[in-house]
Structure 1
Amino acid sequence: MVFSSLVFLCIFLPIVFLGHTILPGIRAKNAMLLLASLVFYAYGEPVYVVLMIASALCNYLFALWIERFQDQKKWIVSVAVILNLALLVIFKYAGFLTESVNTMFGTGFPVPDIRLPIGISFFTFQAMSYVIDVYRGANKAQKNFGKVLLYISFFPQLIAGPIVKYHDVEQEIEHRTQSADGVARGIRRFIAGLSKKVLISNVMGMTADALFGAAAGTLGAATAWVGALSYLFQIYFDFSGYSDMAIGLGWMFGFHFKENFNYPYSSTSIREFWRRWHISLSSWFLEYLYIPLGGNRKGKVRTCINKFIVFLCTGIWHGANVTFLFWGIYHGCFLMLEEFVPFFRKEGGKIKTAVMRIYTLLVVCIGFVFFRADTMTQGVQWVKAMFTGFSMGAASTSLALQQLTPLYLVTFTVACIASFPVFEKWKSDGRYQAFYNNMAFVCSIVGLVLCMLSLAGGTYNPFIYFRF
């Protein structure tokens, strides 16, 4: 079940919200949310819901054992981490690893065809953070399995994040308030995310899919740039839209999740980009991998190596494909470049800021070409066409022009504006706050109506990060 579906919007969400609101007591409310979350996951994964429950149970027990057997806790947490990673390896990478071995050594091992459970990377990382934090003493082991299962399976952030740490929501699982103001803010935030997804990402996605799926012979500069920029906006508004919806749903039920995006395309370096993009994943790797490796405490060379390892793992986390692996290494290389070259660390004026913003967007855009490409060959051909494909004939130009419909051009313009904090000052400026609030209300109503009309009449509605 996806948030941007009529089943969720018109049936599931109203029933769950009404039930959570009228039920008395936190135990009944938690039971309602737990049941709803399991139904939500089972709707799309009727078999793998058992896997998710088993994962939660194992990590629940590991946390209890860590707290009980203090002298053996290092071994227990090691086993817990290994088993969680093994879960990811089996379901995400078994086929890829087998194919790689067969290719490298000429073997003929049968390639397992294992369907990927939706959201496995997210709920596994969340479960690992819970066990590791108990080991570190950041929070106590929860004795009630239902509360641990609710934490891991809570439907707003189950499928595609943000990745939430247990101590950030522990108090709200134990006791929370559901205020009218919080519900109103949550609804507005949810509609904002829904609008990002349905009205912007879906339009950009149809163009990106059409162009990336075109024959290689039609690939010229025009096609390559339109496709690359379309995907640049598709993935941002898809993923940030989902995060907005998750955060909004959390507010509606009395939970407060941390922000997951902060206008990443306004960044002036790749380092800053990763402080603004998928913040919960970056924070996870920072806390549970980068800092344990030594962080930036052991010299510049070691810092660069640590960053490279982190982004290698980031690429692997995203999926079993050489393109994801390259994407992670690619970002790691630019982070090392920014660490070593003084130019990137020196302050500059407006001209340097503009140049650095263009540099960052260009690096990110090229990286996402490989992220989107089916193979490394396609990615290389695409980037080559972006910079050298100006001599292609009418076929390439015609293919690109076919996509530049009035709807696309309007959506592209809105995407450009919405990718930067153009209106952020109005939020805090008392002179414009009333106007901003009124406009936000009107935009929410209009956005919801347009989304419902689009969903009722369309079939294109994928979420990119569901496959991770």
Structure 2
Amino acid sequence: MLILASLLFYSYGEPIYVLLMLVSCLANWALALALDTRKEDAASAGRKAILTLALVLNLGVLGFFKYAGMFVGTIDSLLGLDLKIGAVALPIGISFYTFQALSYVIDVYRGKISAARDPFVVMLYISFFPQLIAGPIVRYRHIEEQIAQRSFTLNGVACGMRRFVVGLSKKVIVADSLAVVVDGIYGNQSGEVDFYAAWLAAICYALQIYFDFSGYSDMAIGMAAMFGFRFQENFTYPYISRTMQEFWRRWHISLSTWFLEYLYIPLGGNRKGEARTVINKFTVFLLCGLWHGAAWTFVVWGLIHGIFLMLEEIVPLKKLPHWAGHLYTMFVVVASFVVFRADSFTQALQMYANMFGFNTESTVGAGSLAFSYLDPWTLTIFSIALIAMLPVTQVLSPQAKLWKKMGVTNPSSTYMPATVDTRVWSLGLTLVLLAANLLILAAGGYHPFIYFRF
């Protein structure tokens, strides 16, 4: 039933590419099974050939659909050629389910898990609809037992529904409200973007992408909980970080740990000298940036993060006072998201010029474009976002005492439904939030999830 629901869900937006996903599921099931039958000879050339084939097939499909146009366009620009290719529609979620499939095959190769004999098990793992199109990236070994046997309880459904409503509210109420400011300023063609407007757009986008993506993760985790699955968290309050290293331990955790385990460590990690460590980290963040989208702006965003991560290896930034480390980290994060959001390098440079005072033609004053967006609703949402990005729920939650008693220092590290809060005001707030979301959606005030295009 879950497989059927997943296929129907995916076909609603991508009817043709359901076949591509099914082929990916069956191919990776067969390749992993072939690896498992040869596990007695772990280092055999045959197993390495099968793994190589799996890497080529998965990355080849991802590369064709996602990056063919980008690389052909780059070659045309550099060499003055005209090697245009027809428009290739990007299958939704292909970056996410490809990485899940790769982790499954690689873990079988490494002997960490056994290959599933039943193809429907692999199909459910790869196509499970709550996290199919925007993550989090789930490892097979984390849910293998849950696929085979899991508990389905009213309490789990209640907790999952509440988590889903919280995620939906993050997206529809907070992220989409901030998107109006961001899209308006980035789309301004009249040259009215000044210092205030540029910084307002940069800060609002940092908040927008966090609430947009973490909201989807909440919805995926909550919906999975309704079916008895327990997914690990994908965000643990990244905007309280004091270093960029800490930021990446809290931001898009499923992706950062994927690159750590399946790329950084196999490349040698930090075990082969400082020069090799630098190369490895730059490689990881170059590919991390490229994973986010088929544009060189994403690559530059990834390299900016790689540069500051390397800087932290040299400069003892961890010794900074907490407030100074936090300001430094947020400055880098907010500023780097400008090139992430920009449609082109030209637009990014224009925004940076406005932000750092290099644009002498921009005007700053009471007539700034920024003030036209600071209406009461936006200011309210902005204030809510600043508070909600902090771990206030860990203090206010009725589960806080239970977590403390259990010795759990970071309850956000793993989704723990515990017992649903049955207080009237809490249930009432959930219903109010759900009603508000439905009204906004019915009015057509909806923006697609940012990570849908990745």
Query: 1:392 aligned to 2:366?
Result: no
Q: How do 1:63-462 and structure 2 match up within 5 A?
A: 63-70=32-39, 71=44, 72-215=46-189, 217-341=191-315, 343-346=316-319, 348=320, 352-388=321-357, 392-393=362-363, 397-427=367-397, 429-430=400-401, 438=423, 440-462=426-448
CA distance in 1, matches of 2:126, 2:152: 21
The amino acid that maps onto 1:404 is L
Residues 174 and 381 of structure 2 are in contact (CA less than 8 Å); yes or no, is this contact kept in structure 1?
Answer: yes
Where does residue 29 of structure 1 map in the other structure?
A: none
**Superposed displacement of residue 429, structure 1:** 4.6
CA distance in 1, matches of 2:383, 2:152: 37
Where does residue 24 of structure 1 map in the other structure?
A: none
CA distance in 2, matches of 1:96, 1:396: 42
Moved more, 300-309 or 447-456: 300-309
For 1:414-433, what per-residue CA distance to the aligned partner results, in whole angstroms no more than 9, with x for missing partners? Answer: 00000111232233554999
TM-score relative to the length of structure 1: 0.89
Extract unaligned runs of 5+ from structure 1.
1-31
CA distance in 1, matches of 2:129, 2:229: 12
Residues 194 and 369 of structure 2 are in contact (CA less than 8 Å); yes or no, is this contact kept in structure 1?
Answer: no
Residues 222 and 397 of structure 1 are in contact (CA less than 8 Å); yes or no, is this contact kept in structure 2?
Answer: no
Greater helix share, 1 or 2?
Answer: 1
CA distance in 1, matches of 2:6, 2:400: 39
CA distance in 2, matches of 1:84, 1:227: 37
The amino acid that maps onto 1:52 is M
Query: 1:40 aligned to 2:14?
Result: no
CA distance in 1, matches of 2:205, 2:360: 21
Local SS of the residue matching 1:115: coil
Residues 196 and 368 of structure 2 are in contact (CA less than 8 Å); yes or no, is this contact kept in structure 1?
Answer: no
**Superposed displacement of residue 265, structure 1:** 0.6
Local SS of the residue matching 1:160: coil
CA distance in 2, matches of 1:99, 1:170: 42
**Superposed displacement of residue 311, structure 1:** 0.4
**Structure 1 residues 429 and 96, CA gap change in structure 2 (3 angstroms):** closer
**Structure 1 residues 429 and 119, CA gap change in structure 2 (3 angstroms):** closer
For 1:209-245, what per-residue CA distance to the aligned partner results, in whole angstroms no more than 9, with x for missing partners? Answer: 1111111611211110111111111100000000000
Local SS of the residue matching 1:409: helix
How many residues align? The count is 432
Residues 41 and 155 of structure 1 are in contact (CA less than 8 Å); yes or no, is this contact kept in structure 2?
Answer: yes
**Superposed displacement of residue 394, structure 1:** 7.0
Local SS of the residue matching 1:217: coil
For 1:78-100, what per-residue CA distance to the aligned partner results, in whole angstroms no more than 9, with x for missing partners? Answer: 11011111111100010010011
**Structure 1 residues 79 and 397, CA gap change in structure 2 (3 angstroms):** farther
**Superposed displacement of residue 112, structure 1:** 3.1
CA distance in 2, matches of 1:174, 1:431: 29
Among all aligned residue pairs of Structure 1 and Structure 2, give the percentage whose two residues are the same amino acid. 51
Residues 218 and 396 of structure 1 are in contact (CA less than 8 Å); yes or no, is this contact kept in structure 2?
Answer: no
The amino acid that maps onto 2:108 is V
**Superposed displacement of residue 36, structure 1:** 0.4
**Structure 1 residues 440 and 367, CA gap change in structure 2 (3 angstroms):** farther
Extract unaligned runs of 5+ from structure 2.
405-418
TM-score relative to the length of structure 2: 0.91
**Structure 1 residues 424 and 101, CA gap change in structure 2 (3 angstroms):** same
CA RMSD of aligned residues (A): 2.1
CA distance in 2, matches of 1:395, 1:376: 27
CA distance in 2, matches of 1:430, 1:289: 39
